[in-house]
Chains A and B, each alone.
Chain A
Amino acid sequence: MASTLTPTPPKAPAAPAVRRMVLGVQEPEDMDLPTDPIPLNMGPSHPAMHGTVRMVVDVEGEKITNADIQIGYLHRCFEKESEYATYTQIFPYTDRLNYVSPMLNNVGYALAVEKLMGIADKLPERVSYIRVIVGEVSRITDHMTCLGAGAMELGAFTVFLYLLKAREWLYELLEEISGARLTHSYVRIGGVSGDLPDGWGAKLLDVIKRTREVIVECGRLLNRNRIFRDRMDGIGIITKEDAIAWGVTGPVGRSTGLDYDVRKDHPYLVYDRFDFDVPIGSVGDNFDRYMCRLEEIEQSMRIVEQALAKIPAGPTMIDDPRVRLPSKTETYNSIEAMIAHFKVIMDGIHVPPGEVYSFTEGGNGELGFYIVSDGTGRPWKCRVRPPCFANVSVLPKVLPGLFIADIVPTFGMINMIGGECDR
């Protein structure tokens, strides 16, 4: 299950004596002049902070002694809006949670509501395959954006442009099926909103072939790059025990050695039919997080290829009158279908009362939806368990001891997405 991929063994951080000699750094003990601790404010609008976050770090010289990370600058009230919207109207809100991998949020939310209704295991097979394919394509765009932005902040602008070029190809494909490049709202409760167009599968395979070449090239540019390695190796180490105690999952958690991937441990949809590896890191530093993501792109591409080969024909929506909209010919020609259409849209899908916590593998880790239903067409509570909320909450423990310049790659590899962290 674990992948044994590490191109070069991770470098141990240099011992203090060597550092002093090589870098000319003076530890505070042997400095003549004492330093005063000063608070340094980074953000909330800062070029190197993905999304808006404010970090108030206490520094002595360049070394951080205390980091206070203040989030909430993008709090768009997902939960409150969900209480006023029908279950189908929540899909656009879920798009904007982790907005670099919107399909994964859609799929996670749809699965939660379907579990509450008891139809999660009755979905047509084609629906499950389509959801897996578009989810993995979204995961690829997520990781590419993270790596591209992270590399750009360290100065590797070329990698950023190459990865964005590849991301454009994927955006065009997702736009063909859903109509929007970024905020798709493609999934519906009980199925997906539209079938895959003809020839889409062949186009996707071609794009994957070209994306693989781009990923290999970016790996060649960065993996053994002296500057990149020096800035990422040994920096921002999260231990496995901390990852478990803080609830850190996803590529960040797996880079610490924690062997937890929801797709493998608790398979949902049709993930158990595909053969793919899960990259596990060993040290838990920035470079491990980078490698985990890079390898996960490759594994996602493998899943998509296998899924496209095996996808069956069939309906794209479950035939349950509680959730499906009647076809247009029926709606316009019979009064019962028109009323049913009206009720499903205006009243919302009536979900039986109950509570469920449904979890899937989001781009950053375990994406959970805890939905409390009171029997009407609008949820009583729709909570997102955001993976990057837990990932970022471990940073105040990781940052002290690093230099200010180390914040940039560390924060970049944690991949905080403001829409998900603040909801």
Chain B
Amino acid sequence: MGLEIYNTTVQAAVNWARKFSLFNYPFVTACCGMEFMSTAAPKYDIARFGAEFPRFSPRQADLLIIVGTITERQAPALRRVYDQMCEPKWVIAFGVCASTGGFYQNYSTVPGADQIIPVDVYIPGCPPRPEQVLDGLVLLQERIQRGEGHSQIVLKAEAGHDVPIAAIRPRDKQPHGAK
């Protein structure tokens, strides 16, 4: 009995620490990058939420923010970056192009980054206002606290805990590009 409370309290404390110290990897491709810069700028200050620190190496980051349109040419690079990150990792799709492809429905754009990697929070907007971005970030922080990010659920399943079957997808074991 005591051990369960200890574990859940420790887990809650660990999640609290994770959510307020996100190291983000801004995978910036397009116009949304300007609004990302604005969110990081003094007026809308993403540093208030602890997520100001961009780490430009996937090994050192735990939040992948996909900012802007993903094209078919870019997709293997995105997959590789995601694969290189260590668990637990979270993904925000910033902007409609990363969420669903936006108004680009053509031979070169991927209709949403979730065709390539699992996404936790979608922030619609073209580009989304910085307030929307911060709203999405707070939403992600609440999910992290509850332990509901994709990668957290997968880790729980692998550790043997009970998770709803529909909550996890089969983990892709192949590296990018392999059939």
Q: Do A and B bind each other?
A: yes
Residue in chain A with minimal CB distance to B103? A92
Would you give the 0/1 interface string for B83-123, flagging 1 where the beta carbon is closer than 8 Å to chain A?
00000000000000000000110111100000000000000
List residues of chain B with CB within 8 A of the CB of A183: 31, 126-127
Contact of A75 among B33, B43, B103, B108 (CB under 8 A): B108
List residues of chain A with CB within 8 A of the CB of B13: none
List residues of chain B with CB within 8 A of the CB of A81: 104, 106
Instruction: Check if A74 sits within 8 Å of B29, measured CB to CB.
Output: yes
List residues of chain A with CB within 8 A of the CB of B28: 45, 51-52
Residue in chain A with minimal CB distance to B126? A183
Contact of A74 among B41, B69, B103, B107 (CB under 8 A): B69
Instruction: Check if B35 sits within 8 Å of A182, measured CB to CB.
Output: yes
Residue B30 interfacial (CB < 8 Å): yes
Residue A168 interfacial (CB < 8 Å): yes
Residue A292 interfacial (CB < 8 Å): no
Residue in chain B with minimal CB distance to A77? B106
Contact of B106 among A73, A80, A182 (CB under 8 A): A80
Residue A117 interfacial (CB < 8 Å): no
A62 vs B56: C-alpha distance when bound (angstroms): 21
List residues of chain B with CB within 8 A of the CB of A247: none
**Smallest distance from the beta carbon of B51 to chain A beta carbons, Å?**
16
Identify which of B70-78, B138-146, B151-159, B167-175 touches chain A: B70-78
Instruction: Check if A168 sits within 8 Å of B41, measured CB to CB.
Output: yes
Counting contact residues on chain A (CB < 8 A from B), the size range is 20 to 34
Contact of A77 among B27, B29, B43, B109 (CB under 8 A): B109
Residue A383 interfacial (CB < 8 Å): no
A96 vs B56: C-alpha distance when bound (angstroms): 25
Residue in chain A with minimal CB distance to B78? A45
**Smallest distance from the beta carbon of A182 to chain B beta carbons, Å?**
5
Of residues A44, A72, A161, A171, which shows the largest number of chain B Cβ atoms within 10 Å of its Cβ?
Answer: A44
A145 vs B37: C-alpha distance when bound (angstroms): 9
Of residues B33, B107, B126, which shows the largest number of chain A Cβ atoms within 10 Å of its Cβ?
Answer: B33
Residue A165 interfacial (CB < 8 Å): yes
Instruction: Check if A419 sits within 8 Å of B109, measured CB to CB.
Output: no
Instruction: Check if A47 sits within 8 Å of B54, measured CB to CB.
Output: yes
A171 vs B130: C-alpha distance when bound (angstroms): 12
List residues of chain A with CB within 8 A of the CB of B29: 51-52, 73-74, 418
Residue B129 interfacial (CB < 8 Å): yes
Instruction: Check if B77 sits within 8 Å of A76, measured CB to CB.
Output: no
Which B residues, 1 to 36, have Cβ-Cβ distances below 8 Å to chain A?
27-31, 33-35
Q: Secondary structure at chain A's binding surface: helix, strand, loop or mixed? A: loop
Residue in chain A with minimal CB distance to B55? A47
Residue B160 interfacial (CB < 8 Å): no
Instruction: Check if A52 sits within 8 Å of B74, measured CB to CB.
Output: yes
Residue B81 interfacial (CB < 8 Å): yes
Residue in chain A with minimal CB distance to B37? A164
A304 vs B120: C-alpha distance when bound (angstroms): 44
Would you give the 0/1 interface string for A397-414, flagging 1 where the beta carbon is closer than 8 Å to chain B?
000000000000000000
List residues of chain B with CB within 8 A of the CB of A167: 38, 41
Number of interface residues of B (CB under 8 A): 32
Instruction: Check if B73 sits within 8 Å of A72, measured CB to CB.
Output: yes
Known contacts A44-B74, A45-B81, A73-B74; A80 and B30 CB within 8 A of each other: no
Contact of A168 among B27, B43, B104, B126 (CB under 8 A): B43
Which A residues, 72 to 88, have Cβ-Cβ distances below 8 Å to chain B?
72-77, 80-81
Instruction: Check if A77 sits within 8 Å of B104, measured CB to CB.
Output: yes
**Smallest distance from the beta carbon of A108 to chain B beta carbons, Å?**
17
List residues of chain B with CB within 8 A of the CB of A182: 31, 34-35, 127
Instruction: Check if B56 sits within 8 Å of A47, measured CB to CB.
Output: yes
A47 vs B71: C-alpha distance when bound (angstroms): 18
Instruction: Check if A165 sits within 8 Å of B74, measured CB to CB.
Output: no
List residues of chain B with CB within 8 A of the CB of A165: 41-43
**Smallest distance from the beta carbon of B105 to chain A beta carbons, Å?**
8
List residues of chain B with CB within 8 A of the CB of A122: none
A20 vs B126: C-alpha distance when bound (angstroms): 52
List residues of chain B with CB within 8 A of the CB of A74: 29-30, 68-69, 71, 74
Instruction: Check if A75 sits within 8 Å of B127, measured CB to CB.
Output: no
List residues of chain A with CB within 8 A of the CB of B68: 74
A161 vs B77: C-alpha distance when bound (angstroms): 30
Known contacts A44-B77, A47-B54, A92-B103; A76 and B42 CB within 8 A of each other: no
Known contacts A77-B108, A168-B43; A418 and B34 CB within 8 A of each other: no
Residue in chain A with minimal CB distance to B29? A52
List residues of chain A with CB within 8 A of the CB of B31: 95-96, 99, 182-183, 419
**Residue contacts A-B, CB under 8 angstroms, 8 given:** A44-B73, A45-B78, A47-B56, A51-B29, A72-B73, A76-B108, A77-B107, A99-B30
Known contacts A45-B77, A72-B73; 18 additional CB pairs below 8 A are: A44-B77, A45-B81, A73-B71, A73-B73, A74-B68, A74-B69, A77-B109, A80-B107, A95-B31, A96-B30, A99-B31, A161-B42, A167-B38, A168-B41, A181-B35, A181-B38, A182-B31, A419-B30
Interface of A toward B, CB cutoff 8 Å: 44-47, 51-52, 72-77, 80-81, 92, 95-96, 99-100, 145, 149, 161, 164-165, 167-168, 171, 181-183, 418-419
